[in-house]
Amino acid sequence: MSEKPQASDREYYGNCHCGAFRFKLRVPEIKVGFTCNCSICSKNGYVWTYLQHDQFTVVKGDADTTLNTYLFGKRENAHKFCPTCGTSVMEVQSVHSMGVNIRALENVDFDSLKVEHQVDGIPMEPPYQVPEPVLTGSVPGGITAHHGSCHCGSLAYTLLSTEKITEATLCNCSICHRDGALWIYHESDMVSWRGMDSAAVEYTFGKRQVSHGFCKICGVSVFEKFRGTNTRNDTRTALNARTMNSELDLGTLEMEMWDGKATLPAYQVD
């Protein structure tokens, strides 16, 4: 049964990054966001708010045709993302309830939002099968192979590194915030790929110097590539640490905060 709208309810507006899909919510003030450690929520860095379908209104586009749908496991929950920019917008759980990714909302003070871990999704059946790694042949001594992928495994990589991964960059710009990405930077020739030609979508905007790469099937943000920045990044690839399938405890990483919101031109949705 849907809840009767209250006078104290607030309207929240949201959109994918490119603006092809826009929506609004009318719900009580969002003070808390919820996380889950299941395979898809972990890779997407979701922060959820839950609501009924009649509290959600599409402003532009269509939830079934503008957005792509990704199903896995028991195929009970539909994860919906934009096929152009890769923003993971929502999860449709039933004919009545749904979850919206707070990262896609515009008028939420994310920095002051209380985030709680709500669901232990790791034991969910059937167990998540980690995709096959990208094979690179024998690994020389002193080098560690780190395997990673999107959720469905269509876009995967192996990073060969001589150093232990101890830090990641958390950026609050409009696209990185929506993607929930934690970036680690390595020379591009140390990364081997599967599915780059068949499964990767590269989204650019603004000065178009950075390509934001995600899987066209499951929508997970996997990498960034740089062109014409005249910095050392032009020879490097940024990998989303959330997509690492090898043992990597994100909680142990030192987070470098980069204020992309303040540094880059102000984001305006088209």
- Tokens 């987070």 belong to 255
Q: Collect all residues with Cβ–Cβ distance below 8 Å to 44 and sequence separation of at least 6.
A: 79, 88, 101, 179, 180, 219, 220, 221, 242
Q: Which residues pair with 212 in a beta bridge?
A: 203, 224
State in words which class domain 144-263 has: mainly beta
The answer to whether residue 7 scores a pLDDT higher than 80 is no
Asked if the domains 10-119 and 144-263 are classified in one and the same CATH topology, the answer is yes
With the C-alpha atoms ordered 190, 207, 177, 80, is the resulting torsion angle positive or negative? negative
- Is the pLDDT at 2 greater than 60, yes or no? no
Which DSSP string corresponds to 145-169? Answer: EEEEE-SSSSSEEEEEESS---EEE
DSSP summary character for residue 105: B
| Token pair belonging to 93 | 């759980």
CB 113 within 8 A of CB 120: no
Instruction: Tell me the average pLDDT across 241-264.
Output: 91
Q: What would the mean pLDDT of 104-127 be, rounded to a whole number?
A: 91
Q: Which residue has the higher pLDDT, 222 or 7?
A: 222
**pLDDT band at 258; cut points 50, 70, 90:** very high
Which of 12-26, 41-55, 127-141, 179-193 shows the lowest per-residue confidence on average (mean pLDDT)?
Answer: 127-141
CB 146 within 8 A of CB 159: yes
pLDDT tens figures, 10-26: 999 999 999 999 999 99
Phi-psi region of 192 (alpha: psi -120 to 50; beta: other; left: phi over 0): beta
- Mean pLDDT, rounded, for 1-5: 51
Token couple for 123: 């034991």
Task: Tell me the C-alpha distance between 213 and 150, whole Å.
Answer: 11
Confidence of residue 5 (pLDDT cuts 50, 70, 90): low
Q: Per DSSP, which regions of 107-232 are E strands?
A: 114-119, 144-149, 156-161, 167-171, 183-187, 191-194, 200-203, 210-215, 221-226
Place of tokens 């809840």: 3
Decide if pLDDT at 1 tops 50.
no
> In this structure, what token pair is assigned to residue 165?
């991964």
In this structure, CATH architecture of domain 10-119:
Beta Complex (2.170)
Residue 106 has pLDDT above 90, yes or no: yes
Domain boundaries, the chain: 10-119, 144-263
168 vs 93: which has the higher pLDDT: 168
